[in-house]
Amino acid sequence: MTVATQLEILDLRHFSARQLRPLLETESRIWDQRLRWNYQSSTELLLQYLDSRILPGFVALDRGRICGFAFCVYEGQKAVVGDAFAVANDPTQALQITQTLLHHLLQLLQNSPGIQRIESQLLLYDTGSINSPFVAAGFSMYPRLFMEYDLRLAPGFTVTKTGDQHESKLPSQFELTRWSIDFYQAAAELIHECYLGHIDARINDQYCSLHGSLRFLHNIVRFPGCGVFDPNASWVLRDRHTGALVGMLLCSRVSSNVGHITQLCIAPAHRGHGLGRTLLGHCIRHLASLNFAAITLTVTEANHQAVKLYEDLGFFTRHRFDAMVLDKS
């Protein structure tokens, strides 16, 4: 008997948070095991939304037992696949259930009036493992890397130039300042400027407008989807003469002793002078001084310059996953 005939697929809004909690707590444990990510705060937020019965999505039942779910969120003319997860007796069967749920969800979205774009980044899944429903629906695929730096190496952290090891020096025209909400508007403007024409703007269309960049920044700072924002481990670079922001690194806590860089960007006019390396080095030393175990980040594999920077500093690829995009316009 195939997975498709074993499963019953029902509307997510028929189920309560209490019914789905065991499945979500299982998923949370996998986030911790695979990505060193305490997903509990995101789980609790999702459970609140589930009890409001407003999330579009589906639940899979195997002989009456809840074994999977998938949902999306609408943002104007765009829909984002929020999550998809299933459990089964073996990993292959769990992936088949997940793909069945995604197939139903994508069909729903493709037939939803007014939806012009669909985005998805499901970090838990290896590149290619859940691609079938997306490929069948005509999505473009962008492999991404989940990278990690072991902070136990940080006491000897140096920046290498022309064979000599030394800590990077900040040019005198710039000052390094901790994040403040006073930088909110300027930070969104910097993000928008940095991603014009960038491959990541194909993956996340929030980068394509100032309004979208403000929303992106708001999501990082206010919501736990990318960890709990840590203003004390987030930094901006400013021009001493003009006060303009020329660089920024934003960091969250994804567990008690693991940080996650949610944003690193340098203004196009100031690239090529080691400012990104300086920000990364400063963040690494700061978190190491607090006895953090590791720092992680995600980067698009085709962004070769960024990948090389991270690898040069000692980051390694812990996991490879896919971003998927369908743009009907």
What confidence score (pLDDT) does residue 102 get?
98
Amino acid at 88: A
Residue 102 to residue 132: CA distance in whole angstroms: 9
Which residues, listed in sequence order, are joined to residue 121 by a DSSP beta bridge? 323
**What pTM, to 2 d.p., does this model score?**
0.91
314: which DSSP letter?
T
What confidence score (pLDDT) does residue 223 get?
78
What confidence score (pLDDT) does residue 162 get?
33
- 3-class SS of residue 245: strand
What confidence score (pLDDT) does residue 170 get?
79
Which residues, listed in sequence order, are joined to residue 245 by a DSSP beta bridge? 238
What confidence score (pLDDT) does residue 177 get?
94
What confidence score (pLDDT) does residue 168 get?
61
Residue 212 to residue 200: CA distance in whole angstroms: 13
Contacts 24+ apart (CB under 8 A), 176-182: 176/235, 176/236, 176/237, 176/278, 176/279, 176/282, 177/235, 177/236, 177/237, 177/238, 178/231, 178/232, 178/234, 178/235, 178/236, 179/231, 179/234, 179/235, 179/236, 179/250, 180/231
CB neighbour list of residue 42: distance below 8 Å, 6 or more residues apart: 28, 224, 225
Residue 276 to residue 93: CA distance in whole angstroms: 43
Contacts 24+ apart (CB under 8 A), 106-113: 106/81, 106/133, 106/134, 106/137, 108/56, 108/58, 108/72, 109/72, 109/79, 109/81, 110/137, 110/326, 112/74, 112/79
Q: Tokens at residue 265, please?
A: 């960007």
Closest CA to 109 of 147, 138, 66: 138
Query: Whose structure tokens read 């990318």?
Result: 226
Residue ranges in the chain whose pLDDT is less than 50: 1-4, 158-166
